[in-house]
């Protein structure tokens, strides 16, 4: 089905598409996590949760493949380059103990996907040590095994992990659609710029569309 999108319609083929939800984990969306340690207002990100929930429910009902990612490091931080841990002046660094457990560490309470978007059994959940979902993860293999050629993206933050993942996917040959009201940044002007960059030059990285444009394609027939 053709989804009205920018810069032109996106031909969704649900049987060969996956919904990729980037890093909707407590670390970024709730107070006391990684996002807040960097000085950000996390309430901005909470605003997209209802729209993400509506798409996730519709996608599941339509029988589509779902992939969840978490930005997460091993407890011994062996997959966290010192350059990432030591950069800047956050109130807590990756691996430090915070109000939701160790910051950005796999298995800690803060590293869990928020309850409203919690993965169901059978859905793919990937811990990724980088910003991109393909770097040091089995994502490409899993998508190839499932015959996936199209990716629909939601999640946070638009210009960091979402855009990086879309660029990685684009270089690997996937057609990518980013849902505009299902992604957010701590910096609204960065979100606006990222959306423009993605769809510029004839969808040089991919397409963007509001979730309302996708939902009719997922409705029961
Ligand atoms: C960041 C992310 N912003 N998930 N991570 O550091 O976008």
Above 90 in pLDDT, residue 221? no
Q: What would you report as the CA-atom Rg of the chain, rounded to the nearest whole angstrom?
A: 17
Nearest to 36, CA basis, from 91, 105, 83: 91
* Cβ of residue 157 lying under 6 Å from some atom of ligand 1: yes
Give the residue numbers marked as catalytic.
Answer: 23, 128, 161
What integer best gives the mean pLDDT of the chain?
Answer: 97
Angle at 213 between CA 211 and CA 214, to 5 degrees: 65
Q: How far is the CA of 204 from the centre of ligand 1 (A)?
A: 22
The answer, yes or no, to whether the previous bond of 157 is cis (omega within 30 of 0) is yes
- The confidence band for 203, taking pLDDT boundaries of 50, 70 and 90, is very high
Q: How far is the CA of 64 from the centre of ligand 1 (A)?
A: 25
Residues 6+ apart with CB under 8 A from 221: none
* Cβ of residue 180 lying under 6 Å from some atom of ligand 1: no
Q: How far is the CA of 122 from the centre of ligand 1 (A)?
A: 25
126 with 71: CB under 8 angstroms?
no
- Report the alpha-carbon distance of residue 175 to residue 181 in Å, rounded: 19
Q: How far is the CA of 185 from the centre of ligand 1 (A)?
A: 9
Angle at 106 between CA 100 and CA 108, to 5 degrees: 25
3-state secondary structure of 25: strand
Angle at 170 between CA 206 and CA 15, to 5 degrees: 80
3-state secondary structure of 96: coil
Q: What are phi and psi of 213, to 5 degrees?
A: -75, -25
Residue nearest to atom 5 of ligand 1 (CA): 161
- Phi-psi category of residue 87: left, alpha or beta, with phi > 0 → left and psi -120 to 50 → alpha: beta
The predicted-structure confidence for 109-145, as pLDDT tens digits, reads as follows 999 999 999 999 999 999 999 999 999 999 999 999 9
26 with 114: CB under 8 angstroms?
yes
Atom of ligand 1 lying closest to residue 22 CA: 4
The predicted-structure confidence for 32-82, as pLDDT tens digits, reads as follows 999 999 999 999 999 999 999 999 999 999 999 999 999 999 999 999 999
Q: Which whole number is the average pLDDT over 94-98?
A: 97
Atom of ligand 1 lying closest to residue 162 CA: 7
pTM: 0.98
């Amino acid at each position: 089905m053709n989804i009205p999108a920018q810069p032109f319609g996106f031909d969704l083929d649900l049987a060969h598409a996956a919904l990729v939800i980037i890093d909707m984990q407590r670390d970024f969306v709730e107070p006391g996590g990684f996002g807040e340690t960097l000085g950000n207002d996390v309430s901005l990100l909470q605003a997209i949760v209802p729209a993400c929930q509506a798409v996730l429910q519709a996608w599941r009902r339509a029988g589509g493949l779902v992939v969840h990612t978490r930005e997460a490091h091993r407890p011994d931080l062996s997959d966290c380059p010192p350059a990432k841990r030591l950069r800047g002046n956050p109130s807590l660094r990756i691996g430090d103990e915070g109000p939701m457990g160790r910051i950005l560490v796999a298995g800690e309470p803060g590293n869990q996907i928020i309850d409203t978007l919690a993965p169901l059994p059978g859905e793919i959940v990937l811990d990724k040590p980088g910003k991109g979902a393909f770097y040091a993860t089995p994502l490409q293999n899993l998508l190839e095994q499932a015959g996936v050629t199209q990716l629909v993206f939601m999640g946070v933050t638009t210009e960091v992990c979402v855009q990086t993942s879309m660029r990685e996917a684009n270089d690997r040959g996937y057609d990518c659609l980013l849902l505009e009201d299902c992604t957010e940044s701590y910096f609204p002007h960065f979100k606006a710029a990222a959306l423009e960059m993605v769809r510029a030059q004839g969808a040089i990285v991919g397409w963007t569309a509001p979730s309302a444009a996708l939902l009719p394609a997922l409705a029961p027939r």
